[in-house]
Chain A
Amino acid sequence: MSGDKKVIVEIKNINKFYGSTNQVVKDLNLEIYEGEFLTLLGPSGCGKTTTLRMIAGFEEPTSGSILIEGQNIENKEPFERNINTVFQSYALFPHMTIYDNIAYGLKMKKAKKDVIRTRVMEMLELVQLGGFEKRYPSQLSGGQKQRVAIARALINQPRVLLLDEPLGALDLKLRKQMQLELKRLQRKLNITFIYVTHDQEEALSMSDRIAILYNGVLEQVAQPWEIYEKPATKFVATFIGETNLFEGYVSEIKDNEVTAVIESGIIQGEGDTFELNEMIAVSVRPERMKYSLSPVEGFHLEGVVKEQVYVGSILKTIVMIGNGNEIRIERLAGESLPAEGTVYLYWESKDAKLIHTADHVFYQAIENIQMGREEPV
């Protein structure tokens, strides 16, 4: 996917500190392609807005550079960048009509009156707000304001549109509808969208690629299915959807089938970049978890059913295994699962995703050395 596409925004080694110690973005590298819908996803406070504001020019990186169409924009003021922003709070000008709000960008460019008129009418049509031009922002609903904000940001035909949780203030139903509309708009105009959200469902359904940020660190950039099926880090595995995570070390490798020793037994998964004795995490989604009432051949984990909950069409079962950890199993309701007693959990190797955690061990080792302890293992 990456090879044949043109890079439009390039973020190189960006660090951002607030004050001298509070680092909110850590060595961020990210290439964004022309015409793609890229989502920055992460928990609250992980640095999404800060990253977006650095691209827009409202915030200066402490170090590193941002290139747009190959040009370093370090010294460009926000009003000199060919990028526009849709703010979470809409940020419509309250003293101007919808017409004047949308026309603002072109007026600043000193466009001719009749050009402005045609373009504004086009934009109103595009966001399906024909006939609203004489109203003031206070006379619109949330969803309508959001559309005005989008039209206003699009009128200068930016190459890149930044959207900071643009649907955050809308109710669920309107949000779903606006998600579809935004996606339709983006396809139609073929503009690069950099979209911020902390709603994983929104990210999974709208994006071409998702960049997952955690504590200012970029954890993984990949297509939605890949993020879900092949999480690169423990954080991604747990943040996107529900999962069961086991930690241990590699004890055997046969072709691409990896066997690992964990606290409560031996498990298997698939992967081809792993080494013997390496520390790893194994992620198994609840819907892929299998169970049996008697020990199965090959690996299995013994556990006791602790709880069962119906969530609409899904039956969730929680099983406690040897070391006290809780394992989740999900099945479509109707499929029966024992509500109590001992069960044996297993899965197919291909359904278990292995994750390197060597980094963490490495960091821990450094930390220990710094604290004067001996290097472990």
Chain B
Amino acid sequence: MKQKMKKNSYGVVGKIYCSLIYAFLFLPIVVIVVNSFNATTSKPYLSWKGFTFDWYLKLFENEELLQSFQNTMIIAVCTTIMATIVGTLAAVGMYKYKFRGKSTIDALLYIPVVIPEIVLGISLLTLFAKISIPRGMFSLILAHTTFSIPYVIFNIRARLSRYDNSIEEASMDLGANRLKTFFNITLPVLAPGIAGGALLAFTLSIDDVIVSYFTNGQTMTLPLKVMESIKSGVSPDVNALSVLILIGTALLVVLTQSGILKGKKNM
């Protein structure tokens, strides 16, 4: 009986604690979502003046914002593809083959991850200027690919650390040649790691501000555009945009989570 009471009081405290944490995490999001439907028209757009969809409509009339969104998407997709291919091959190669200086190369991989982004931004800018790569879409893709590759490698490597080489031998032993073994065994087993790496590269690219700021030239990405527009208070159309992105990400997360869960069951 006593035991039960104790448990219950723990339960209540636990519930309050949890609620606080979730309130802390989700309150800002709630504010954004609510404000994106706020009918106010005077700065700083904070007092509630009734419900409206106007900001969403306005959003789709804002050519510049839409253009920057398109740029961001193109850059993110290209970055994801490049970083994933390069990263996967590098990770598998570094796992399978022994070569001189391997441990040094391993260690060097952490540098792009740990150096401050601002340093990376400046050095990329200098480099692009030196070798005369015009600043724009292309330089942005290169820059984003640069900082994404290590993350892709780390992600796949985490998977490889539990990878048992003998399953490839088992596959060949059972009559599959090397190509079939790669597609039947190696790739599917590494797939969750590759997908995770790709997703990471995609998100890193989408919301990058600092490196993009140095390397964009005239090309505007969405984060840069948002930064620019909030100089005069957060206008509700940016809120609306945030809500749309929020929904997009949530969908992506739900999709990949269910995919990963499905995959995890048999790993």
A: residues with CB less than 8 A from B are 56, 58, 77-79, 83-85, 87, 89, 91-97, 104-105, 108-109, 136-138, 152-153, 156
B172 engages A79 (CB within 8 Å): yes
Residues of A within 8 A of B176 (CB): 79, 104, 108
A156 engages B265 (CB within 8 Å): no
A67 to chain B, nearest CB (A): 19
Query: A105 contacts which of B174, B185, B263, B265 (Cβ < 8 Å)?
Result: B174
* Nearest-CB residue, chain B, relative to A84: B173
Question: In the assembly, what is the distance between CA of A156 and CA of B169, in Å?
Answer: 16
Task: Indicate whether B218 reaches chain A with its CB closer than 8 angstroms.
Answer: no
Number of A-B contacts (CB under 8 A): 72
Count of chain B residues with a beta carbon within 8 Å of a chain A beta carbon:
22
Query: A138 contacts which of B169, B185, B267 (Cβ < 8 Å)?
Result: B267
B173 engages A95 (CB within 8 Å): no
Residues of A within 8 A of B171 (CB): 93, 104
Residues of B within 8 A of A87 (CB): 166, 169-170
Residues of B within 8 A of A84 (CB): 173-174
A164 to chain B, nearest CB (A): 10
Residues of A within 8 A of B109 (CB): none
Query: A109 contacts which of B169, B175, B185, B188 (Cβ < 8 Å)?
Result: B175
A264 to chain B, nearest CB (A): 51
A152 engages B177 (CB within 8 Å): no
Residues of A within 8 A of B164 (CB): 89, 91
A78 engages B173 (CB within 8 Å): yes
Query: B166 contacts which of A89, A97, A104, A137 (Cβ < 8 Å)?
Result: A89
Residues of B within 8 A of A89 (CB): 164, 166
Question: In the assembly, what is the distance between CA of A105 and CA of B181, in Å?
Answer: 12
Question: In the assembly, what is the distance between CA of A89 and CA of B170, in Å?
Answer: 11
Task: Indicate whether B210 reaches chain A with its CB closer than 8 angstroms.
Answer: no
| With contact pairs A87-B166, A108-B180 given, residues A138 and B172 touching in the complex (Cβ less than 8 Å) | no
B174 engages A156 (CB within 8 Å): yes
Residues of A within 8 A of B166 (CB): 87, 89, 91
Residues of B within 8 A of A109 (CB): 175
Task: Indicate whether B251 reaches chain A with its CB closer than 8 angstroms.
Answer: no
Question: In the assembly, what is the distance between CA of A84 and CA of B176, in Å?
Answer: 12
A56 engages B173 (CB within 8 Å): yes
Q: Which of B167-197 contact A (CB under 8 A)?
A: 167, 169-177, 180, 184-185, 188-189, 191
Residues of B within 8 A of A96 (CB): 266
| With contact pairs A87-B169, A91-B169, A96-B266 given, residues A108 and B175 touching in the complex (Cβ less than 8 Å) | yes
* Nearest-CB residue, chain B, relative to A95: B188
A95 engages B189 (CB within 8 Å): yes
Residues of A within 8 A of B169 (CB): 56, 58, 78, 85, 87, 91
Question: In the assembly, what is the distance between CA of A85 and CA of B167, in Å?
Answer: 11
* Nearest-CB residue, chain A, relative to B267: A94
B125 to chain A, nearest CB (A): 44
Pick from B166, B171, B174, B191 the residue with the most CB of A within 10 Å. Answer: B174
B266 engages A104 (CB within 8 Å): no
Extra inter-chain contacts (17) besides given A93-B185, A94-B189, A97-B266, CB under 8 Å:
A56-B173, A79-B172, A79-B175, A83-B173, A91-B167, A92-B170, A93-B170, A94-B167, A95-B191, A95-B266, A104-B176, A105-B174, A108-B180, A109-B175, A136-B265, A138-B266, A153-B174
B222 to chain A, nearest CB (A): 37
* Nearest-CB residue, chain B, relative to A135: B266
Question: In the assembly, what is the distance between CA of A96 and CA of B176, in Å?
Answer: 15
12 A-B pairs with C-beta separation under 8 A = A85-B170, A89-B166, A91-B170, A92-B170, A93-B170, A93-B189, A95-B266, A97-B266, A104-B184, A109-B175, A136-B265, A138-B267
Pick from B173, B175, B185 the residue with the most CB of A within 10 Å. Answer: B173
* Nearest-CB residue, chain B, relative to A88: B166
Residues of B within 8 A of A85 (CB): 169-170, 173
Residues of B within 8 A of A91 (CB): 164, 166-167, 169-170
Q: Which of B130-186 contact A (CB under 8 A)?
A: 164, 166-167, 169-177, 180, 184-185
A108 engages B174 (CB within 8 Å): yes
B266 to chain A, nearest CB (A): 4
* Nearest-CB residue, chain B, relative to A149: B170
A108 to chain B, nearest CB (A): 4
A359 to chain B, nearest CB (A): 37
A367 to chain B, nearest CB (A): 35
